[in-house]
Amino acid sequence: MNLNATLFVQLAVFFVLSWVTMKFIWPPLITAIDERRKKIADGLASAEKADKSLAEAKANATQVLKEAHAQAGKIVEQANRRSNELVEEARGTALAEGQRLIADAREQVVLDSNRARAQLSKEVAAIAVSGASKLLGREIDARAHADLLDKLALEIERG
């Protein structure tokens, strides 16, 4: 065989194989490559979107936590204020009740003291009448001398 004829045959085989490859093999290969490239680009876009969403979610979570802490602080402050109000209210009620009890006790002491004085005056008057009757040697009528005995009782109370 001749070198020129071999070269032309090899050149013809090369072009036929190139044409078959370009016509039947290359298009599905390019389509698969394009689809893969598109999937990769979509995946990268989704990853970027997910990163942005994650950053936004973190920012929102931080904001919600700050708001929750602020609200919790307000609630604690309100609870403390209310407890102080209740303590002050209870203290005021206790003071008023204590003052009322003291006033009632003072009134009771005055009443008991007056009763005791009246009782004592009556007993002193009875003793005075008894003593006077022994001194005079005769019995003194307490009803007849009631004014005198009342005056005597008043002088004993004052004196």
Residue 154 CB partners (closer than 8 Å, separation 6+) = 121
CA angle at 90 for the pair 76 and 70, rounded to the nearest 5°: 10
Provide the pLDDT for residue 140.
63
If you write DSSP's letter for every residue of 73-107 in order, what string do you get?
A: HHHHHHHHHHHHHHHHHHHHHHHHHHHHHHHHHHH
Query: Binning pLDDT at 50, 70 and 90, where does residue 107 land?
Result: very high
**CA 9 to CA 3: how far, in whole Å?**
10
**CA 6 to CA 20: how far, in whole Å?**
21
Indicate the pTM of the whole model.
0.43
Provide the pLDDT for residue 151.
72
Residue 157 CB partners (closer than 8 Å, separation 6+) = 117, 121
Question: What are the DSSP E strand ranges found in 18-135?
Answer: none
Provide the pLDDT for residue 113.
87
What's the pLDDT tens digit per position in 9-62? 999 999 999 999 999 999 999 999 999 999 999 999 999 999 999 999 999 999
Q: How far is CA 54 from the centre of its chain?
A: 34
